[in-house]
Amino acid sequence: MKPGLRFKSVVPEGPRVAVTFDGEALMLPEGANLATALMAAGIGSFRQTPFQGVARAPFCMMGVCFDCLLEIDGVAQQSCLIEVRAGMDIRPARQQREGPYESL
Amino acid sequence: MNRFDLAVVGAGPAGMAAAREAAEAGLCVALVDEQPRVGGQIYRNVERVEAPLAAVLGKEFMSGAGLAKDVQHAGITHLAGFSVLAFEKGKLALGAASGAMRIEAREVLLATGAIERPMPMPGWTLPGVMGAGAAQVMLKQSGLAVENAVLVGSGPLLHLVAVQLTRAGAPPRAIVETRRRGDARRAVMKWRLALRAMPYIKRSLANLTELRNAGVRRYMGSRDVALLGERRVESVVFASGGRRREVPCDVALLHHGVIPHVQASRAAGVSHIWSESQMAYVPECDIWGRTDAPHVWVAGDGAWIGGARVAELSGRIAALGIAHDLGYVRSVERDRRMAAWFEEREFELSLRPLIDRAFPPYEAALTPEDSVAVCRCEEVTAGQVRAAVAAGATNVGDAKVMTRVGMGRCQGRMCFPSVARIVAEARDVPVVDAGQLSARPPIKPVTLGALAQMHYGAGAKEGDAHDD
Amino acid sequence: MDAEFAIVGGGIVGLSVALGLLDAGRSVVVLDGGAADPKASRGNFGLVWLQGKGVAQPRYARWSKESADLWPAFAAMLQDVSGIDVGLRQTGGLDLHFDEETLAQAVAENECLKAELGSDYPYEVLRPDTLRVEEPEIGPRVVGAILHHGDGDVDPLALLAALSAAVRARGGRVVTGAKVDAIHPKAEGFHLHGDGVDLRAEKLVLAAGLGSAVLGPKLGFVAPLKPERGQLLITEKLPPMIRRPSLIARQDRAGGIQIGATNEDVGMDRRVTLDGMARLAADAVAAYPVLEHAQLLRAWGALRVMAPDGLPIYQESPTHRGAFLVSCHSGVTLAAAHAMRLPAWILQRADAPELEVFGETRFAV
């Protein structure tokens, strides 16, 4: 995936911990803001919109907009309000596109 | 059940100061915040910030460290990572990823801060388009300065973010300012005001000098701004100085002011009025922050946009008012301590019109063109809202049931300001006539499992026999 | 005269009747209420439902069945005229039970209806093993269910939008933000007044939900209508997991799980309560354990419009000819009959349905 954002770091490199993102192993800085850490790790799309199915990525970073929504350890959460912990199981939120699904 | 004298919702400057002040007066305080750490947005992560990041963020930011330390008090229970789901007669329901719980509080102080005024414009839903505040969050909490940014809009925060990014070694590509040079000049012509505001003006000019020296280009009076890109934002196009321009970027940072975050106060049953000067709904309250909802108080930017210092002062004022009402502080004592805070708050607030005049919102983003999505959650466009009005919608509630606008996860936080203006403009009535969206629990989403636990918990406690 | 018919009430009931009258060639103005009105049509669960209805009054069971049978044609017509697909699904619906006692009681009621309607009442009792084949996410606490093959659901807000658009497309006028405060009977018809209302019509259909309880008695109706609050929840959009609607939950077309509903006697209070939300959530998770991690996005309260016996009311005013009261709490289920069959009764044509039992004489003491 093409890295979305590039960053200049102003803080010394701290310890990293292992998490999984969509099944893939990732090493993220422990205690860092999860949404930021994922963007810095090159994650460019956090969710698909329900109707048009287009990509979204963090917008407000303050817990307002829900564009950073991810499923973390089974529960959909705003990743901008969460700190990185070892072993987090992170996935795109369970959403689906519009359209009547197959009925009986 | 946890019982408290006071529940403070929001751990920004107002909430932190209020919690401390109330605890000092002897109250048992719960400080509830959905972030893992205190600080709110303005002082986010301030406890952990060290040099060299401290130098990048500046002295004003670091001044929040004292407030954060003050929260460590035996009388304060910090409930981190909890959002308020509902208020009900002396009880608050709180939710976290781990579950939900109820606490009891005799009084509730809402210090829920501000949100950036939504800025719907063409391309604003593309990945890589963010709020200017978002760049600050990334810097404050992760020490990461986003590179190759273009800032778009209006407001002192735009310049501050540009300065902070520059100091961090990632100067933005450009600042696309939607205000005109004349806006600032007109503001300063209120010279009495300007004189009093000299420290602000000086700081503001120093920021501009720092940006100029760093070679950051500012485009004034920009119009017809759009964000372009295939899968993510690739450039900002706009008209400035009579020319069509395009600046490539990796990230576009939008900002045109902040408005009170009133979801909680509205769900708590507080009356809100439209403020023409803040161009937003604000909770009605007296000088102490007392609202018309019993035992509910408001303080900080969530009550009235005044900035961090005003927020801190209004938090202290509300806390003393509450301590007085609960009998912890006598009137004489309250009024004696209040005087200086009132005076300073009045002074700070008296400068506010200068900022409002100097940095007006970007008109085209208040009532965006038809193709622009105003509801980011349900993907409803401005044009769909206008079509709903044409089909008979008379207020935002009508527009909601007709278009799904405001029915998504953010519960209308991001779209309501735009929808209200669009409906009002389409009907050619004042914005208040477009009404307000209903604000009901849950104030933030919560899992059914957490709610269900609450049912069984309550059932066990109250001996409540339900049919399950 | 502004129109032959004034329809007071722009909800699902009023619009359905209006659409039917337009089809019969009549001119119609629909007056939707004010912003503060309770508007049950904005808050309902969207079921097209037969099971359990009419145990005490078989005519109600048949009338509901007639409407359910008309629904496919009605939905197709709405789509044609309005361009809006209301998402009708009539592939059966479930009544889930957590204990044998309530299940046995429901079975008895259904048997009673079956005896009355015969093959027009296709239901079966599902035990856990078969139930979980039909509905894989049902949890172990469910001991059994009634499956009625004629039950189903629609998207209630899409229905409201489609009706409104169809009425306009057929030449009707829908006036929004128009709250009727007073109706003056005149020799030649009715004069309606209110906020944003000044209208004359020859005839009048009162379909104002709980508003009919206020306006009705002034026109000679009993209109003994009472509110009953139902709290409802809706979750985030999720992948398909609930196949058939149940009285506990249904999954809408966009993936949201709608959960309903409480039955509360709290007057006109439309607020949601923590206890109400928590109980609904508990039942939903007990029925469908997969919902434990589903996020609740919104909750709302709506007021059912209930007659004392729960049946619809169809009555021409005994004192003011040309004024009709139409009221029911199952506006969605009955929408097709209200649009396609009821106009014949209002117009007193030979093909009018037999609705005597739904008249207000039943309230006489």
Q: Could you report the per-residue pLDDT of B294-313, keeping only the tens digit for each? A: 999 999 999 999 999 999 99
CB contact under 8 A, C282 and B401: no
Q: Which helix (H) or strand (E) holds A74?
A: none
Minimum mean pLDDT range among B125-129, B354-358, B378-382, C147-151: B354-358
Q: Does A21 touch chain B (CB under 8 A)?
A: no
DSSP string, chain A: ------EEE-S----EEEEEETTEEEEEETTSBHHHHHHHTT----EE-TTT--EE---SSSSSS-TTEEEETTEEEEGGG-B--TT-EEEE-----SSPPP--
C interface with B, Cβ–Cβ below 8 Å: 32, 35, 42, 98-99, 102, 141, 157, 160-161, 164-165, 168, 174-177, 233, 235-236, 259, 271-275, 277-279, 281-286, 291-300
Helix spans in B326-358 (H): 331-358
Cα–Cα distance, B155 to B179 (Å, whole number): 9
Q: How far is C360 from chain B (nearest CA, A)?
A: 33
In a domain, C133, yes or no: yes
> Rounded to the nearest 5°, which phi and psi values hold at A43?
-75, 120
- CATH number for the domain spanning C205: value is 3.50.50.60
- Architecture of the structural domain at B367-433: Orthogonal Bundle (1.10)
- The dihedral built from the CA positions of residue C291, C293, C297 and C300, taken in this order, carries a sign that is positive
CB contact under 8 A, C176 and B407: no
In a domain, C85, yes or no: no
| Six-digit token string for C303 | 């007021």
**pLDDT bucket at A95, cuts 50 / 70 / 90:** low
High-pLDDT (> 90) share of chain A, % = 73
Q: Does C295 touch chain A (CB under 8 A)?
A: yes
CATH number 3.50.50.60 given to B118-256 = yes
Q: Does A6 touch chain B (CB under 8 A)?
A: yes
Helix spans in A31-80 (H): 34-40
A-chain residues near B445 (CB < 8 A): 76
B-chain residues near A32 (CB < 8 A): 141-142
Q: Which residue has the tokens 């401005």?
A: B382
Q: What is the mean pLDDT of residues B249-262?
A: 98
CB contact under 8 A, B458 and C35: no
| Exposed/middle/buried for residue C187 (C-beta within 10 Å: 0-12, 13-18, 19+) | exposed
**pLDDT bucket at A103, cuts 50 / 70 / 90:** very low
In a domain, C87, yes or no: no
CB contact under 8 A, A103 and C91: yes
Q: State residue A3's pLDDT score.
A: 56
CB contact under 8 A, C299 and B402: no
In a domain, C22, yes or no: yes
CB contact under 8 A, B468 and C98: yes
Q: Do C115 and C167 belong to one domain? A: no
**pLDDT bucket at A98, cuts 50 / 70 / 90:** very low
A-chain residues near B410 (CB < 8 A): 64-66
Cα–Cα distance, B223 to B250 (Å, whole number): 21
Helix spans in B71-189 (H): 132-142, 156-167, 181-188
Q: Is A77 left (phi over 0), alpha (psi -120 to 50) or beta?
A: beta
C-chain residues near A50 (CB < 8 A): 237, 254-255
Nearest to B397 by CA among C306, C253, C270, A52: C270
Nearest to B47 by CA among C279, C261, A31: A31
C119 DSSP 8-state letter? G
- CATH number for the domain spanning C267: value is 3.30.9.10
- The dihedral built from the CA positions of residue B14, B356, B274 and C296, taken in this order, carries a sign that is negative
C-chain residues near B463 (CB < 8 A): none
CB contact under 8 A, C293 and A75: yes
pLDDT digits (tens, 9 = 90+) for B60-76: 999 999 999 999 999 99
Nearest to B303 by CA among B175, B294, B233, B317: B317
Q: Do C206 and C337 belong to one domain? A: yes
Q: Which helix (H) or strand (E) holds C203?
A: strand C197-206
Q: Amino acid identity, residue C90?
A: Q
CB contact under 8 A, B86 and C277: yes
CB contact under 8 A, A75 and C295: yes
pLDDT digits (tens, 9 = 90+) for C319-356: 999 999 999 999 999 999 999 999 999 999 999 999 99
Q: Are A98 and A51 a contacting pair, CB within 8 Å?
A: yes
User: Is pLDDT at B291 greater than 80 in this prediction?
Assistant: yes
Q: How far is A92 from chain C (nearest CA, A)?
A: 12
Q: Are C172 and C164 a contacting pair, CB within 8 Å?
A: no
User: Is pLDDT at C309 greater than 70 in this prediction?
Assistant: yes
Q: Which of A50, A103, A104 sits opposite C254 (nearest CB)?
A: A50
Q: State residue C3's pLDDT score.
A: 95
CATH of domain A16-92: 3.10.20.440
Nearest to B176 by CA among B236, B258, B244: B236
Q: Which of A49, A61, A76 sits opposite B138 (nearest CB)?
A: A61
Cα–Cα distance, B355 to B188 (Å, whole number): 10
Domain that holds residue C270: 226-306
User: Is pLDDT at A104 greater than 50 in this prediction?
Assistant: no
Q: State residue B417's pLDDT score.
A: 96
C-chain residues near A104 (CB < 8 A): 91-92, 243-244
CB contact under 8 A, A58 and B169: no
Q: Where are the domains of chain A?
A: 16-92
Q: State residue B462's pLDDT score.
A: 38
Q: Does B423 touch chain C (CB under 8 A)?
A: no
Q: State residue C196's pLDDT score.
A: 83
Q: Which helix (H) or strand (E) holds A80?
A: none
User: Is pLDDT at A99 greater than 70 in this prediction?
Assistant: no
- Cα-only R_g, chain B: 23
Is B118-256 the same fold as B3-115+259-329? yes
**Subunits close to A (at least 3 CB pairs below 8 A):** B, C
CB contact under 8 A, C237 and A95: yes
**Subunits close to C (at least 3 CB pairs below 8 A):** A, B
Q: Which residue has the higher pLDDT, B114 or B188?
A: B114
C-chain residues near B404 (CB < 8 A): 157
Cα–Cα distance, B304 to B259 (Å, whole number): 8
Q: Do C300 and C319 belong to one domain? A: no
- The dihedral built from the CA positions of residue A45, A47, A53 and A56, taken in this order, carries a sign that is negative
In a domain, C282, yes or no: yes
Q: Which of B88, B445, B468 sits opposite C296 (nearest CB)?
A: B445
A-chain residues near C243 (CB < 8 A): 103-104
| Exposed/middle/buried for residue C106 (C-beta within 10 Å: 0-12, 13-18, 19+) | buried
Q: State residue B407's pLDDT score.
A: 94
CB contact under 8 A, A81 and B52: no
CB contact under 8 A, A96 and C255: yes
ipTM value: 0.95
Q: State residue B338's pLDDT score.
A: 93
Helix (H, G, I), strand (E, B) or coil at C37: coil
Q: What is the mean pLDDT of residues C192-204?
A: 95
Residues whose CB is less than 8 angstroms from the CB of residue C134 and which lie 6 or more positions away in sequence, other chains included: C126, C147, C243, C244
High-pLDDT (> 70) share of chain B, % = 97
High-pLDDT (> 90) share of chain C, % = 97
Q: Which of B41, B83, B379 sits opposite A51 (nearest CB)?
A: B379
User: Is pLDDT at C115 greater than 50 in this prediction?
Assistant: yes
May I ask the CATH class of domain B3-115+259-329? alpha beta
Can you say how many angstroms the Cα of residue B240 is from the centroid of all Cα atoms in its chain? Answer: 29
Q: How far is C351 from chain B (nearest CA, A)?
A: 34
User: Is pLDDT at B464 greater than 80 in this prediction?
Assistant: no
User: Is pLDDT at C206 greater than 90 in this prediction?
Assistant: yes
User: Is pLDDT at B467 greater than 60 in this prediction?
Assistant: no
Cα–Cα distance, B90 to B102 (Å, whole number): 10
Residues whose CB is less than 8 angstroms from the CB of residue B187 and which lie 6 or more positions away in sequence, other chains included: B194, B354, B355, B357, B358
**Domains contained in chain C, number:** 3
Cα–Cα distance, B223 to B241 (Å, whole number): 10
Q: Does C148 touch chain A (CB under 8 A)?
A: no
Cα–Cα distance, C166 to C151 (Å, whole number): 25
User: Is pLDDT at B218 greater than 90 in this prediction?
Assistant: yes
Q: State residue A93's pLDDT score.
A: 83
The total of other beta-carbon atoms located within 10 Å of residue B206's CB is: 12
Q: Which of B141, B263, B453 to mutate to test the interface with A (most CBs of A within 10 A)?
A: B141
Q: How far is A100 from chain C (nearest CA, A)?
A: 5
Q: Do C284 and C140 belong to one domain? A: no
**pLDDT bucket at A85, cuts 50 / 70 / 90:** very high
Q: Which helix (H) or strand (E) holds C52?
A: none
Cα–Cα distance, A30 to A18 (Å, whole number): 9
The total of other beta-carbon atoms located within 10 Å of residue C266's CB is: 15
A-chain residues near B169 (CB < 8 A): 8, 10
Q: Does B448 touch chain C (CB under 8 A)?
A: yes
Q: Where are the domains of chain B?
A: 3-115+259-329, 118-256, 367-433
Name the average pLDDT for chain C.
96
Q: Are B374 and B120 a contacting pair, CB within 8 Å?
A: yes
A-chain residues near B413 (CB < 8 A): 64-65
Helix (H, G, I), strand (E, B) or coil at A3: coil
Q: Which helix (H) or strand (E) holds B115?
A: strand B114-116
Cα distance from N-terminal residue to C-terminal residue, chain C? 38
Q: Which of C243, C253, C295 sits opposite A100 (nearest CB)?
A: C253
Cα–Cα distance, B403 to B421 (Å, whole number): 16
Cα–Cα distance, B180 to B164 (Å, whole number): 23
Q: Which residue of B has its CA nearest to C102?
A: B467
Beta-bridged to residue C235, according to DSSP, are C296
Q: Which residue of B has its CA nearest to A36?
A: B138
C-chain residues near B449 (CB < 8 A): 281, 285, 291-293
Cα–Cα distance, C1 to C189 (Å, whole number): 9
Cα distance from N-terminal residue to C-terminal residue, chain B? 23
Tally DSSP H helices, then E strands, for chain A. Answer: 1, 8
Q: Do C268 and C132 belong to one domain? A: no
pLDDT digits (tens, 9 = 90+) for B405-439: 999 999 999 999 999 999 999 999 999 999 999 89
Q: How far is C136 from chain A (nearest CA, A)?
A: 13
User: Is pLDDT at B186 greater than 90 in this prediction?
Assistant: no
User: Is pLDDT at B460 greater than 50 in this prediction?
Assistant: no
pLDDT digits (tens, 9 = 90+) for A26-62: 999 999 999 999 999 999 999 988 888 899 999 999 9
Q: Which residue of A has its CA nearest to C93?
A: A104
Q: How far is C165 from chain A (nearest CA, A)?
A: 22
**pLDDT bucket at C121, cuts 50 / 70 / 90:** very high
